[in-house]
Chains A and B, each alone.
Chain A
Amino acid sequence: MTLLTEVGTLDVLEAEAVHVIRECAAECERPVLLFSGGKDSIVLAHLAVKAFAPAGLPFPLMHVDTGHNFQEVIDYRDQFVARIDERLIVASVQDSIDQGRVQDETGPRASRNRLQTTTLLDAIAEHRFDAAFGGARRDEERSRAKERFFSHRDAFGQWDPRNQRPEPWTIYNTKLKAGEHFRVFPLSNWTEIDIWAYIGREGLSLPSIYFAHQREVFERDGMLLAVDDHIERYSHEQTFTETVRFRTVGDMTCTGSIRSTATTVAEVLAETRASDVSERGASRADDKTSEAAMEDRKRNGYF
């Protein structure tokens, strides 16, 4: 029979992600999809829309907003949510600071990246969410490579990597006790290249900062950080204008850009394939603090 279309790697990854999304929606009472306006969460939200079309999403989106995001990303976020016509909850780190739940860091190294954990866990508790979809991938980082699709978090939001639930075949144990929740990672087996290839195939739009543009930057720890009121500079840190793009989009204070002239998905793909630096190495200052920085943050309830 020739009616069958050939099934490629992206088709398999897409089918797997949709299977996980549908399982979670069916088994959990109150899921939420964590949406940052970054490329991985855009792919995730796109897959969720496809999983339930033509009906709407059976869960809302939620953005944990550090208040230090790139304006282009916030604009994109709002347009995206309007286009798919779904509900967006914004959990604000600034609110957590105002309520005295967390304390803002100060100085040139100040970042709200770590503070997000409290805001996220508070929002999960407030809305009684029992599952939060995230766009994390196993290729991002060593401790991520150990993640399950349904990653169990106790009532304190903690991850216990030594005692994870087995996931043989594609059968997921979705049982929870009161106060516990899951982090669900449908994109676990995708790589950075897969994400870009899929964005190209599906014709998805992205925030403009993912493509080459002129920006005033300064160099710190080998990374090009954006010049912005939210980031205090040391006196020796000179600013200059450079043609750059961002490989990841996170809190401005810890997300670096790279020199690039890539203005299309195809050019970004070619550049990414040829790059000798990993995604996190290129753009995340938060993982450079220690070998187990990500594992430690995840244990405490980080994304």
Chain B
Amino acid sequence: MAATLHVVAVGSVDDGKSTLIGRLLHDTGHLRGDEIEAVAEASRKRGRKGIDLALLTDGLRAEREQGITIDVAYRSFDADGRRILLGDAPGHVQYTRNMVTAAAGADAAILLVDAKSGTTPQTRRHLALCAMLGVRDVVACINKIDLVDYSQARFDEIAAELRAAAAAVDGPRITAIPLSALNGVNVVERSPETPWYDGPSVLEVLRDLDQPIVETAFRMPVQWVIRHDDGVNDIRGLAGRIDSGSVSVGDEIIALPSGVTSRIARIEVLGEERAAASAPLSVTLHLEDDVDVARGDVISTVTNAPQVATRFRATVAWLDEQPLTAPMRLEARQGARTVPVIVEELHERLELDTMLQVAADQLDVNDIGIVNVLAASPMVIEPYAISRGMGSLVLIDPATNRTVAAVMVDEVLAGL
């Protein structure tokens, strides 16, 4: 079982994400008395009956004033020994970019659906975004089930809708749970209010989800070269975080894009000598040969090495107010490299409600589209489906320094 599970809570506005997170923290004993008292006080100030647990994660003044989530809040808690890092993502359409940020890198999503209103276009958008970002498991919480008299028929109906929507986007596995976040029904323990439901509680699913897919090919972007002359040896250590796979002393490696090869002489895991190390550890690698390797290079085992390319086709989630039109000059940040790029072509925009690709000449903020990108210098690139690390990048507008897009590589193309 993985030590840490990254989970993102998504769904339409007012479907109860923040309440569920507050409930999870509260019912697992991760809230202290004074934190509960502070939330109770804030609830009274707003004239709410009882404790509004949503006020716990809506930490910004503007969020509490409007009763909505604007930016992602992260909370950590332990589910019977497993660390859960939970991101509470905004539900509003205009904050979709913050939802993309929270879901990128997540292993699983909690998708909240209001039992009364059922699935909405925003529910389907979030499901599609999860599929696109490679979130493999979706815990679908049919929330406010108390407001439909704990109806099994209503639950089954919405669960079927969700499964159909997930299948349409070739998407994640769905575990559907009837829920009342407000009353704590099926949050931590299975509740008597839903005797017809024999599945797990939310906490049980998070605790028991099997290990996220571990990509096996060894990849490590070099972040920093540690130089140290102790009088006897002139040390040259390649410092970085292992992105995927594992490496052992004696392994034949290749540094890309340069293509120089060597063998692993020593592996240090933050001061400790090891015979082998695996993702996601931060390490320092020492090579047998004094070859030229610098920040931004990717170390891989010689077998199963990634591609080096200057052109690729990719799915972009556009995050900036200023729209994307092609061609556009930007900078790509990937691993430990920053490379000037041109978005050469905008092929189409993805209608998330229908999953139809439609012709487009620009992408507005929160739009998803398919583009061709040309890089000024060779990049180590793999499709996102194969390698999250080598297949993901962000685009930065050098004029404003804003992060304008999250990008997933679909296919490596032949260069110019």
Q: Chain A residues in contact with chain B, CB under 8 A?
A: 1, 3-5, 7-9, 11-12, 14-16, 18-19, 22-23, 25-26, 50-55, 138-139, 141-146, 161-162, 164-173, 175-177, 188-191, 275-278, 281-282, 291-292, 295-296
Further pairs besides A4-B246, A9-B3, A55-B235: 10, Cβ < 8 Å = A1-B246, A1-B248, A23-B223, A26-B295, A50-B270, A141-B59, A167-B101, A168-B100, A175-B396, A291-B38
A172 to B394: give the CA distance in the assembly, Å: 9
B224 touches A171 (CB 8 A): no
B73 to chain A, nearest CB (A): 4
| Total of A-B residue pairs, C-beta within 8 Å | 184
Are the CB atoms of B270 and A173 closer together than 8 Å? no
- A52 / chain B contacts, CB cutoff of 8 Å: 224, 226, 239
Known contacts A9-B3, A162-B60; A277/B396 CB under 8 A = no
**A and B contact pairs by CB, cutoff 8 A, 13 listed:** A3-B274, A12-B4, A14-B282, A23-B223, A50-B270, A53-B271, A138-B74, A138-B75, A144-B59, A166-B100, A168-B394, A177-B401, A275-B32
B224–A9 CB distance below 8 A: no
Name the CB-closest residue of B to A58: B224
Which residues from chain A contact B72 at a C-beta distance below 8 Å?
Answer: 146
A279 vs chain B, min Cβ distance (A): 9
For the complex, is B379 an interface residue (Cβ under 8 Å from A)? no
Q: Are A162 and B406 in touch, CB under 8 angstroms?
A: no
Q: Quick one: which of B42, B226, B392 contacts A171, CB cutoff 8 A?
A: B392
B71 touches A139 (CB 8 A): no
Bound Cα distance from A190 to B75, whole angstroms: 10
Tell me the complex Cα distance, A49–B2, Å.
27
* Distance A57 CA – B82 CA, assembled complex (angstroms): 33
- In chain B, residues 106-150, which have Cβ atoms closer than 8 Å to a Cβ of chain A? none
Q: Does B240 contact A (CB under 8 A)?
A: yes
B33 at the binding interface (Cβ < 8 Å):
yes
- State the interface size on chain B (CB cutoff 8 A): 69
CB-defined contacts of B248 to chain A, threshold 8 Å: 1, 3
A12 to B401, CA, bound (A): 30
Interchain CB contact under 8 A, A162 and B271? no
Known contacts A18-B270, A168-B394, A169-B104; A277/B59 CB under 8 A:
no
User: For the complex, what is the distance from the CA of A83 to the CA of B29, rounded to whole Å?
Assistant: 39
Is A162 a contact of B62 with CB atoms below 8 Å?
Answer: yes
A295 to B3, CA, bound (A): 32
Cα separation A144 to B38 with both chains bound (whole Å):
16
Complex Cα gap A139–B25 (Å): 11
Interface assignment of B76: CB less than 8 Å from any CB of chain A: yes
Task: Give the complex CA separation of A239 and B277 in angstroms.
Answer: 55
Residues of B within 8 A of A142 (CB): 56-60, 73
Nearest-Cβ distance from residue B19 to partner chain A, whole angstroms:
15
What A residues does B262 contact at CB under 8 A?
none
Which 9 pairs of residues, A with B, have the shortest CB-CB distance?
A: A142-B59, A168-B104, A281-B34, A3-B276, A18-B282, A175-B401, A276-B33, A166-B101, A15-B282
Interface residue B352 (Cβ < 8 Å from any Cβ of A): no
Chain A contacts for B255, CB-based, 8 A: none
For residue B26, CB closer than 8 A to chain A, the reply is no
**B58 cross-chain contacts in A, Cβ below 8 A:** 142
Closest partner residue, chain B, to A273 (CB atom): B29
**A54 x B394 contact (CB < 8 A):** no
Judging by beta carbons under 8 Å apart, are B35 and A166 in contact? no
Q: Please state if B226 and A55 are interface contacts (CB–CB under 8 Å).
A: yes
B336, CB-defined interface residue at 8 Å: yes
- Judged by a CB distance under 8 angstroms, whether B49 is at the interface is no
**Considering only CB atoms, which chain B residue lies closest to A11 in the complex?**
B281
Are A171 and B235 neighbours in the complex by a CB distance under 8 Å? Answer: no
